Amino acid sequence: MNKTAIGIDFGGTTVKSGVVREGKLLARLPPLRTHDFAGHDSLLAAIRAAIEELRQQHPEVVAVGAGLPGLVDSINGRVWQLSNVPGWEDVALTALLEEWTGLPAAIDNDANAMAYAEWLFGAGREGVNVVCVTLGTGVGGGLILDRKLYRGSRLGAGEIGQMTIDPKGAPGQYGNYGALEKYVGNAQIAERAQTLYREAGLTKTPEECSPLALEKSARAGDPVAAKVWEEIGFHIGITLCDIVWLLNPDRIVIGGGVGRAGEYVFGPIRRVIKERTMKIFHEGLTIVPAALGNDAGLIGSAALALAKATMPNDP
Amino acid sequence: MNKTAIGIDFGGTTVKSGVVREGKLLARLPPLRTHDFAGHDSLLAAIRAAIEELRQQHPEVVAVGAGLPGLVDSINGRVWQLSNVPGWEDVALTALLEEWTGLPAAIDNDANAMAYAEWLFGAGREGVNVVCVTLGTGVGGGLILDRKLYRGSRLGAGEIGQMTIDPKGAPGQYGNYGALEKYVGNAQIAERAQTLYREAGLTKTPEECSPLALEKSARAGDPVAAKVWEEIGFHIGITLCDIVWLLNPDRIVIGGGVGRAGEYVFGPIRRVIKERTMKIFHEGLTIVPAALGNDAGLIGSAALALAKATMPNDP
């Protein structure tokens, strides 16, 4: 059977699109920058043109999928609200994609698309119960449970970034207090790093405190950067311990900027989980960096569209 | 089809047995007190005799199930370790039950049996994603996800009592620090209540600080007891918030002594979850006391045995 689909990945600032087959990108277009478009209608028109261009290159495409940050009703195909893109409220995106293309379409939360891609084609392959975490501006997650994408009763599951580190901590933007995102979101990491550098008598810009910069500094032997990673790993590890006690997964996949910091962050995460859970919980568990990088959203949204087209009750 | 089975419920100090059909107890025997038996073999012989007696009363029985506290391998039918019953290590209980009776048998963790019973016949009925918490000496849990009992990769899922309230809190017996069980286990509740009474100039025995006694005191207008329940509800609520963000369930069922305290504990739990999660997470969620009381383990273990006998790949 032909298994080629278009994937569309809505990021915070760009919209990427490409043609995917069996987890591989056959073609991709230059990303659309959302701020170049005056509004919702002109952005949609540009996405429609991109899809047409990709179909001309690959007429064998049989489905279209989109992954979006925010509240997405994957069953009814509606986008309720998009993080970072004002004006997107209650858009029946699945219906629009189907009308434009005449092909079956599917939309989902971006973290679900990422988790699905990593499970089918990436670092979660062959896992039975796989927890995916993406760390960036915010912290998101997706769950594969008993070999199916788990969405929850209102399709909101996987909000790992909103889980509590300190019930008396600072309020976050979605209602919880002292949530993981308040400790390991990119802005919070930069702020914490600046504080620790200041205590060491050094002044650093936020740019010098990005995950990428902190990883380079740690690699170069900078003890402050190493301490920042240690703290980040501790906080991620605490939340993952809770998930391990609750769900007893066999695989945890960590993606996004923080996930690329290698042993500086995976070391403390693994240590915390080993120290704070029982053997049967951690001995069969592998904790690995995401494998598909920035393409996970594209690959996953295409794969979800194909899955919906071929087995409507799954995933 | 005949749907009658024997259920056996291993508690901390007693072993209960009965005949169950469609979630109703048709017969039950007086509980065996584990401390009356010198060892593992004599207790097993007494359980075997109980099963024979129940089968004489109800020859229509077609399966036997047992729920046990501790590490249970439900797939291979082995009990690795029993909380509170020394000498139970690596017992092939399913094979024994089948050998004794010639009937199909199943064993499972007691919290899973309770969750399964509440979902099929009790307070979790018709739920799609149901989280069950039992609060007693310890704090356990069971998960029904997408209408199936979720066990996790090493069959350890649902350890809600081990989830973190305070990462810097006191160590618990299973490895974690500041876990929920350290705040709301019966002994911890009694200790905390004694402290609060002492601060109010009152001396109370641990018995006067049991969940049942504290509920009566709160009902009688005792402000200290009310404060204890407020704190208990807060801590349970914090852990449940994390589960709500992660799993987005539609039903939470709370059983055990604490679960019977009514609004004194459900009030704060509901308030914390409403305050600390987004609307789509809490508006479709009901939080209810368990309905089957002390019979949930018996009913659930019988139901799990029937389910295994009739659909071996479920639940």
Q: What is the ipTM of this complex?
A: 0.95
Q: How far A31 CA sits from the closest chain B CA (Å)?
A: 31
Residue A209 confidence (pLDDT): 96
CB-based contact A162 B248, cutoff 8 Å: no
The DSSP symbol for A208 reads G
CB-based contact A238 B164, cutoff 8 Å: yes
DSSP chain B: ---EEEEEEE-SSEEEEEEEETTEEEEEEEEEEGGGSSSHHHHHHHHHHHHHHHHHH-TT--EEEEEESEEEETTTTEEEEETT-TT-EEE-HHHHHHHHHSS-EEEEEHHHHHHHHHHHHSTTTT-SSEEEEEESSSEEEEEEETTEEE--TTS----GGGSBS-TTS-B-TTS-BSBTHHHHSHHHHHHHHHHHHHHTT----SGGGSHHHHHHHHHTT-HHHHHHHHHHHHHHHHHHHHHHHHH--SEEEEEETGGGGTHHHHHHHHHHHHHHS-HHHHTT-EEEE-SSGGGHHHHHHHHHHHHHHH-TT--
pLDDT > 90 fraction of chain A, expressed in percent and rounded: 82
Measured between alpha carbons, how far is B206 from B194 in angstroms, rounded to an integer? 7
Residue A81 confidence (pLDDT): 73
Residue B122 confidence (pLDDT): 97
Q: Which residues of chain B have pLDDT under 50?
A: none
Instruction: Compare B91 and A57 and report the one with higher pLDDT.
Output: A57
Does residue A313 surpass a pLDDT of 80? no
Q: Which residue has the tokens 């019977």?
A: B260
CB-based contact B278 A174, cutoff 8 Å: yes
Measured between alpha carbons, how far is A6 from A306 in angstroms, rounded to an integer? 9
E-assigned strands of chain A? 4-10, 14-21, 24-33, 63-68, 70-73, 78-82, 89-91, 105-109, 130-135, 139-145, 148-150, 251-256, 286-289
CB proximity A148 to B under 8 Å: yes
CB-based contact A248 B155, cutoff 8 Å: yes
Output the CA angle B140-B164-A246, nearest 5 degrees. 45
Residue B81 confidence (pLDDT): 73
Residue B91 confidence (pLDDT): 86
Residue A82 confidence (pLDDT): 72
Residue A240 confidence (pLDDT): 98
CB-based contact B249 A277, cutoff 8 Å: no
Residue A62 confidence (pLDDT): 96
Mean pLDDT of A226-253: 97
Residue A23 confidence (pLDDT): 95
CB proximity A112 to B under 8 Å: no
Residue B45 confidence (pLDDT): 94
Instruction: Compare A72 and B18 and report the one with higher pLDDT.
Output: B18
Instruction: Out of B143, B156, B284, name the one closest to residue A154 (CB).
Output: B284
Residue A2 confidence (pLDDT): 73
Q: Can you give the pTM of this predicted structure?
A: 0.95
Q: Are B18 and B296 in contact (CB under 8 A)?
A: no
Mean pLDDT of A22-43: 90
Read off the pLDDT band of A266 (50, 70, 90).
Answer: very high
Read off the pLDDT band of A148 (50, 70, 90).
Answer: very high
Q: Which residues of A touch B157 (CB under 8 A)?
A: 246-248
Q: Which residue has the tokens 């402290």?
A: B195
CB proximity A129 to B under 8 Å: yes
Lowest mean pLDDT: which of A147-161, A255-269, B84-98, B197-211?
B84-98
> What's the pLDDT tens digit per position in A84-98?
666 777 889 999 999
Residue A214 confidence (pLDDT): 95
- For residue A168, the SS3 value is coil
CB-based contact B153 A275, cutoff 8 Å: no
Residue B154 confidence (pLDDT): 94
Query: Torsion angle of alpha carbons B6, B8, B9, B14, nearest 10°?
Result: 130
Q: State which H helix or E strand residue A195 sits in.
A: helix A186-199
Residue ranges of domains in chain A, CATH in brackets: 4-114+295-310 (3.30.420.40), 126-291 (3.30.420.40)
CB proximity A49 to B under 8 Å: no
